[in-house]
Amino acid sequence: MTKPTIVFDLDGTLAHTAPDILGTLDHILAREGLPTLPHTEAIGLAGAGARALLKRAFTVSNMPLPETRLETLFEDYLAHYETRIAERSHLFPGAEMALKTLSADGHDLAVCTNKTERLAILLLEKLGVADYFKAICGRDSFAYQKPDARHLTSTIQKAGGLPHHAIMIGDTRTDIDTARNAKLPVIGVRFGYSDTPIDTLAPDLLIDHFNELHAAIRTISLSTAR
């Protein structure tokens, strides 16, 4: 039987990217003369994208942020972030070994992220793992984004898999909702950036470390094969 395609979220799932995401936010806010957000507060938005971070920072400072200004700051954010995209970001412990093991076991791997596709590819290249993935799809890869199920199912198809024969791995409500919308099983990681305790979001299984992933995928594969 064909093994399920394994689709990973990126920020907060495969890689700890918050230091560079929030460092870029600090740079933009300092340039604008605004106080920075405490990282303990902002990390819950690290996987939500730069627009969400910028909106939050301006709201906290009681500063208006018209849509046109937001878009300008967003472009500035992306330009600066690209220069430091892997300065302090790194894979979570055990992630690369998990990718290697799953690939050797016959699974096709993919990434489905709300980062732009170009930045997602650049980050994974710099982290040395881009070649493990049959598809790396971002918020601009298709006409829809997570939690729209089509972002996930289109990523699976681009990786050469069957859209209803896959497992999602993620760290936030968005990832879990995306998998549910696609009627696919989802494994949650407890070490990510969820602003809600991920246990309360009821993924099919939860892991605390990537060394538990292979067994979790096997458990789900066996249960869905019955």
DSSP string, the chain: -PPPEEEE--BTTTEE-HHHHHHHHHHHHHHTT-PPPPHHHHGGGTTT-HHHHHHHHHHHTT----HHHHHHHHHHHHHHHHHTTTSS-EEPTTHHHHHHHHHHTT--EEEE-SS-HHHHHHHHHHTT-GGG-SEEE-TTSSS--TTSHHHHHHHHHHTT--TTSEEEEESSHHHHHHHHHTT--EEEETTS--SS-GGGG--SEEESSGGGHHHHHHHHHHHHH-
Q: Which of 26, 79, 27, 21 is nearest to 50 (CA)?
A: 21
**Is 175 one of the catalytic residues?**
no
As a whole number of angstroms, the distance between CA 139 and CA 30 comes to 27
Sign of CA dihedral 71, 8, 20, 120: negative
Considering the candidates 9, 20, 108, 175, report the single residue annotated as catalytic.
Answer: 9
| Catalytic machinery residues | 9
